[in-house]
């Protein structure tokens, strides 16, 4: 059974909130964006109108559709205007206390049937749900950036989220033109959880080996990824990666120790593309030290490694995390494949990481074990599959 969603509120009109609200209005649903003040609410409205007008001038949407979207989009700083919404999507600052306060207010001001979704990238949805009197109606609805074009939504379910809430959000996501996947709550959720060990391994290679970064960038691109790992980290932002790995480390402990180069770049305020330098230097400013000089200065004792072997180790760490997720029943094999394709740009021709790994499990297990690193200890399920030469997908069926 699903609930009917006739009107949606988006809480927070920043980068994500604006994009989500714009998407909803373009899919012919009324949406009201709630901001902290009337001034910020009006700023959100101006930004929305500019973006819609720009989309029309670029031929991305028809002017008639733009007019409808404008009529369906409203802003407010007052909870009274949310009294008739069926679902709220919260996209305020990534701060647990701010989100808890917002959810308490939503619980007090929205009708009892309304679903409360959060777009958090990393915070505990259970803790957010616990401040409400309707934890069964609280769910993670993790959009990817930019929400208009990225087609994946991770639906994060706590132990208290009801089936009706999940099914309602799944149907709404499809009506918004998106592909929802079901993810049982865990730190970093699914897509970022699988991405993180791969990127962390790429960073460890810089302090532990003499590897040439360009060789790994090229290996990733040959594999079919849109970006190499260091370019991706620079694009995501070294500061964001730094804070995310801290959250992940809190959740997974010893197993996920952030690579030392990450804090080196963070302390040096090399935040990536956004401020001129990260792993690579994007500005002519001579103040940025060459990455190789940093490596030689801080990590002089490094081993030689073959780039293909190094890249296989990175991919093995991702596959290992996928098996840990299967062991913990975080997501189905299908949803892992879909999530990695649509959320991260995993090469569609390879279907997904588990399809890629299917005939390589013994080699992946050996690679992880031979590294001798705690962070690469293979999951029990992976070892079992490798030893028994079990198939992940029997007879071309994608069922787990």
- Specify whether 142 is catalytic: yes
User: In terms of CB distance, is 13 or 180 closer to ligand NAD?
Assistant: 13
- Nearest residue to ligand NAD on Cβ basis: 14
User: In terms of CB distance, is 102 or 170 closer to ligand NAD?
Assistant: 102
User: In terms of CB distance, is 40 or 257 closer to ligand NAD?
Assistant: 40
Asked if 109 touches ligand NAD (CB under 6 A), the answer is: no
203 DSSP assignment: H
Asked if 192 touches ligand NAD (CB under 6 A), the answer is: no
Q: Residue 299, Cα to own-chain centre: how many angstroms?
A: 31
Of 176, 394, 207, 167, whose CA–CA distance to 295 is shortest? Answer: 207
User: In terms of CB distance, is 98 or 377 closer to ligand NAD?
Assistant: 98
Asked if 11 touches ligand NAD (CB under 6 A), the answer is: yes
Strands 138-143 and 152-157: antiparallel
Greatest alpha-carbon pair distance for the chain in Å reads: 64
Of 216, 125, 360, whose CA–CA distance to 368 is shortest? Answer: 360
Among 3, 25, 26, 120, which residue sits at the site for ligand NAD (rule: CB under 6 A)? 120
DSSP annotation string for 235-276: HH-HHHHHHHHHHHHHHHGGG-PPPHHHHHHHHTT--BGGGT
User: Hey, is 352 helix, strand or coil?
Assistant: coil
User: In terms of CB distance, is 48 or 143 closer to ligand NAD?
Assistant: 143
Taking CB atoms within 8 Å and a gap of at least 24, the contacts of 376-383 are: 376/201, 376/313, 376/316, 376/317, 376/320, 377/255, 378/320, 378/323, 379/320, 379/323, 379/324, 379/327, 380/327, 381/323, 381/324, 381/326, 381/327, 382/319, 382/320, 382/323
Among 102, 194, 314, 336, which residue sits at the site for ligand NAD (rule: CB under 6 A)? 102
Among 2, 7, 14, 260, which residue sits at the site for ligand NAD (rule: CB under 6 A)? 14
118 - beta bridge partners? 90, 140
Q: Which of these ranges, 114-122, 153-161, 297-305, 390-398, lies near ligand NAD under the rule CB under 6 A? A: 114-122
Asked if 121 touches ligand NAD (CB under 6 A), the answer is: yes
User: Hey, is 166 helix, strand or coil?
Assistant: helix
Among 65, 81, 94, 164, which residue sits at the site for ligand NAD (rule: CB under 6 A)? 94
Among 6, 93, 210, 224, which residue sits at the site for ligand NAD (rule: CB under 6 A)? 93
Helix (H) or strand (E) holding 76: strand 73-76
Q: Which of 113, 142, 273, 355 is catalytic?
A: 142
Q: Which residue has the tokens 């991305």?
A: 60
Asked if 237 touches ligand NAD (CB under 6 A), the answer is: no
The interaxial angle of helices 361-371 and 307-327, nearest 10 deg, is 100
Asked if 17 touches ligand NAD (CB under 6 A), the answer is: yes
Asked if 36 touches ligand NAD (CB under 6 A), the answer is: yes
Asked if 131 touches ligand NAD (CB under 6 A), the answer is: no
Among 8, 9, 16, 87, which residue sits at the site for ligand NAD (rule: CB under 6 A)? 16
Q: Which residues bind ligand NAD (CB under 6 A)?
A: 11-17, 34-36, 40, 91-94, 98, 102, 119-121, 143, 145
Residues classed as catalytic: 142
């Amino acid at each position: 059974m699903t609930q009917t969603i006739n009107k949606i509120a988006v809480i927070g009109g920043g980068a994500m909130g604006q994009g989500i609200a714009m998407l909803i209005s373009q899919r012919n649903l009324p949406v009201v964006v709630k901001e902290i003040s009337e001034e910020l609410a009006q700023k959100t409205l101006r930004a929305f109108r500019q973006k819609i007008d720009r989309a029309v001038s670029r031929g991305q949407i028809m002017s008639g559709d733009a007019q409808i979207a404008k009529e369906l989009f409203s802003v407010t700083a007052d909870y009274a205007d949310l009294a008739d919404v069926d679902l709220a999507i919260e996209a305020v600052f990534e701060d647990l206390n701010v989100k808890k306060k917002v959810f308490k207010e939503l619980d007090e001001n929205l009708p009892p049937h309304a679903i409360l979704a959060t777009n958090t990238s990393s915070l505990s949805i259970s803790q957010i749900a616990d401040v409400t009197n309707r934890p069964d109606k609280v769910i993670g609805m993790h959009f990817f950036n930019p929400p208009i074009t990225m087609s994946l939504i991770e639906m994060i379910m706590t132990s208290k989220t009801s089936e009706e809430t999940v099914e309602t959000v799944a149907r709404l996501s499809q009506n918004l033109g998106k592909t929802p996947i079901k993810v049982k709550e865990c730190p970093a959720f699914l897509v970022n959880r699988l991405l993180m060990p791969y990127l962390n391994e790429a960073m460890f290679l810089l302090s532990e080996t003499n590897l040439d970064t360009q060789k790994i960038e090229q290996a990733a691109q040959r594999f079919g990824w849109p970006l190499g790992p260091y370019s991706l980290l620079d694009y995501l932002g070294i500061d964001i990666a730094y804070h995310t790995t801290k959250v992940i480390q809190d959740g997974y402990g010893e197993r996920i120790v952030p690579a030392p180069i990450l804090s080196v770049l963070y302390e040096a305020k090399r935040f990536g593309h956004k401020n001129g330098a990260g792993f690579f230097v994007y500005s002519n400013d001579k103040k940025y030290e060459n990455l190789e000089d940093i490596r030689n200065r801080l990590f002089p004792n490094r081993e030689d490694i073959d780039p293909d072997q190094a890249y296989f180790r990175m991919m093995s760490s991702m596959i290992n995390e996928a098996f840990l997720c299967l062991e913990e029943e975080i997501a189905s094999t299908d949803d892992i494949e879909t999530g990695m394709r649509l959320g991260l740009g995993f090469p569609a021709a390879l279907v997904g990481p588990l399809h890629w790994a299917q005939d390589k499990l013994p080699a992946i297990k050996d690679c992880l074990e031979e590294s001798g690193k705690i962070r690469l200890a293979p999951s029990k399920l992976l070892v079992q599959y490798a030893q028994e030469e079990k198939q992940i997908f029997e007879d071309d069926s994608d069922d787990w």
